Amino acid sequence: MAEQSPFLEAVAISKSYGGQTSAGLKTTTLNIAQGKITAIIGESGSGKSTLLKMLYGLLSPDAGQIKFKGERVWGPEEKLIPGHDAMKMVTQDTDGLNLFAKVQDNISILLPNTNVADKEEKTRRVLQQLNITRIADKQAVYLSGGEKQRVAIARALVTQPEVLLLDEPFNQVDTSFREGLQQDIRQVVKETGLTVIMVSHDPAEVLSMADELIVIKDGEILETGSPKTLYQHPQNLYTARLLTNCNVLAREEAALCNIATNKEYVVIYPEWARPTGSWTHKDWTIKQVLFKGSHEGLVVEKGGVLLRLLNDQPDKLKEGDKVHVKVDRYLEF
Ligand SMILES: Nc1ncnc2c1ncn2[C@@H]1O[C@H](COP(=O)(O)OP(=O)(O)OP(=O)(O)O)[C@@H](O)[C@H]1O
């Protein structure tokens, strides 16, 4: 039996801007899994958007090829309307909306008039999927930022693309709205088999939304894996820092936590260490107690070293208290 082509792949692609060898993307090969959410994460300027634009065909690689189901994805100079027809991209920018048209018309206008019943049905379905049926008759000018973002995604999905590319589209949206939208997109992926590739700066977002992460540093893929694997067992300090606000201690600072290492750094996630007030040897001082709702954030200090911890038994400790700190787990780099 003939081997099936990968769904979407980058084969040894690279891109440099204006002859600068440092900016852009170094030689990269990767596969994007069909029907999954893949998140590209990395520091600002690491090359995330460059990769996303090349996957979509908005930017041509200097070398190598992007292939969608075995066929080369054409670059912007080769197509009248840049971007692969089976893909749609949504950014923070919702400028494509006609502010004076109703939400449903903003969506249905993207479908051909050849089959009116089909057009209505597809519009109805996408309004439902994005939870915006109740604002279908509202003029876009009256929408909140979050609603506009939902409409932008509905517009991208109504033509039933196989791939949805999201370049930080939730940035302008507040946290509660954001979580709802993330859940709805996950549901669409589950129901329709849509493939999503997203770029995000928000660790909580990529951890809860993505099936697969691609970590980019200085234009190179550093590591890939599931959110759980990369969170629990990152191979690089860079990855740990992207995914969590962790404590990074130099070797001599780690010794203060009774950790002996021959590596350069020790990383302790806040949830991996806890105060134990009952111990006799209380050598850490609580510097700050931060109310976080269901739990408390603590900042403790010893010998000039500060550690951030999570305390799931709030209201027991106060600033100035002495505690013993028990470190359950740490990583070495
Ligand atoms: N059109 C361009 N001309 C010149 N340099 C560019 C261009 N686009 C991007 N770059 C440079 O290429 C590098 C990667 O940019 P890219 O936008 O892909 O990074 P990013 O990881 O998406 O960053 P951010 O998170 O800040 O959006 C950066 O150094 C950027 O300044």
| 242, 259, 288 - which closes a domain | 242
Which residue has its alpha carbon closest to ligand 1 atom 18? Answer: 47
The pLDDT value given to residue 21: 60
Q: Quick one: which atom of ligand 1 is closest to the CA of 24?
A: 12
What token pair was written down for 323?
């505690």
Instruction: Ligand 1 pocket test: pick from 15, 17, 41, 222 the residue with the most ligand atoms within 8 Å of its Cβ.
Output: 17
Cα of 219 vs centre of ligand 1, distance in Å, is 9
Q: Could you report how far apart the first and last alpha carbons of the chain are, in Å?
A: 45
Domain span at 319: 247-332
For residues 35 and 195, is the Cβ–Cβ distance under 8 A? yes
Instruction: Ligand 1 pocket test: pick from 26, 41, 48, 56 the residue with the most ligand atoms within 8 Å of its Cβ.
Output: 48
Stretch (H or E) spanning 31: strand 20-32
Side-chain half-sphere exposure of 145, counting CA atoms within 13 A:
12
**Domain check: are 213 and 268 in the same one?**
no
Report which of 225, 253, 230 is spatially closest to residue 242, judged by C-alpha positions.
230
Which residue has its alpha carbon closest to ligand 1 atom 28? Answer: 45
Q: Is residue 111 part of a domain?
A: no
Which residue has its alpha carbon closest to ligand 1 atom 31? Answer: 45
**Domain check: are 50 and 170 in the same one?**
yes
Would you tell me how many other CB atoms lie within 10 Å of the CB of residue 3? 5
Ligand 1 — pocket residues by CB below 6 A?
17-18, 23-24, 42, 44-50
CATH number for the domain that contains residue 299: 2.40.50.140
**Domain check: are 214 and 259 in the same one?**
no
Dihedral of the alpha carbons of 47, 52, 56, 61, in degrees to the nearest 10:
20
- Alpha-carbon distance of 214 to 42, in angstroms, equals 8
For residues 325 and 307, is the Cβ–Cβ distance under 8 A? yes
Which residue has its alpha carbon closest to ligand 1 atom 24? Answer: 44
Q: Is residue 314 part of a domain?
A: yes
Q: Quick one: which atom of ligand 1 is closest to the CA of 42?
A: 21
Residue 302 dihedral angles phi and psi, to the nearest 5°: -150, 130
Q: Domain total for the chain?
A: 2
Cα of 149 vs centre of ligand 1, distance in Å, is 23
Q: H-type helices in 70-218, by residue range?
A: 103-108, 116-129, 145-157, 175-192, 203-209
Instruction: Ligand 1 pocket test: pick from 49, 52, 206 the residue with the most ligand atoms within 8 Å of its Cβ.
Output: 49
Cα of 48 vs centre of ligand 1, distance in Å, is 8
Q: Quick one: which atom of ligand 1 is closest to the CA of 219?
A: 14
**Domain check: are 208 and 267 in the same one?**
no
Look-up: residue for tokens 């170094």? 26
Which residue has its alpha carbon closest to ligand 1 atom 6? Answer: 17
Phi-psi region of 227 (alpha: psi -120 to 50; beta: other; left: phi over 0): alpha
**Domain check: are 210 and 260 in the same one?**
no
pLDDT in tens, the chain (333 residues): 567 889 999 999 999 997 666 678 999 999 999 999 999 999 999 999 999 999 999 999 999 999 999 999 999 999 999 999 999 999 887 778 999 999 999 999 999 998 999 999 999 999 999 999 999 999 999 999 889 999 999 999 999 999 999 998 887 778 888 889 999 999 999 999 999 999 998 898 999 999 999 999 999 999 999 999 999 999 999 999 999 999 999 999 999 899 999 999 999 999 999 998 666 788 999 999 999 888 899 999 999 999 999 998 888 889 999 999 999 999 999
**Domain check: are 326 and 177 in the same one?**
no
Beta bridge pairs of residue 275: 325
The pLDDT value given to residue 312: 84
Q: Is residue 219 part of a domain?
A: yes
| 208, 227, 242 - which closes a domain | 242
Q: Is residue 251 part of a domain?
A: yes
**Domain check: are 326 and 178 in the same one?**
no
**Domain check: are 77 and 167 in the same one?**
yes
Q: Is residue 109 part of a domain?
A: no
**Domain check: are 210 and 255 in the same one?**
no
Identify the DSSP state of 244: S
What token pair was written down for 285?
């001082």
- Alpha-carbon distance of 218 to 273, in angstroms, equals 32
Cα of 34 vs centre of ligand 1, distance in Å, is 27
Q: Is residue 272 part of a domain?
A: yes
Q: Is residue 130 part of a domain?
A: no
Q: Quick one: which atom of ligand 1 is closest to the CA of 50?
A: 18
| 191, 214, 242 - which closes a domain | 242
**Domain check: are 207 and 261 in the same one?**
no
Q: Is residue 122 part of a domain?
A: no
Residue 96 dihedral angles phi and psi, to the nearest 5°: -65, -15
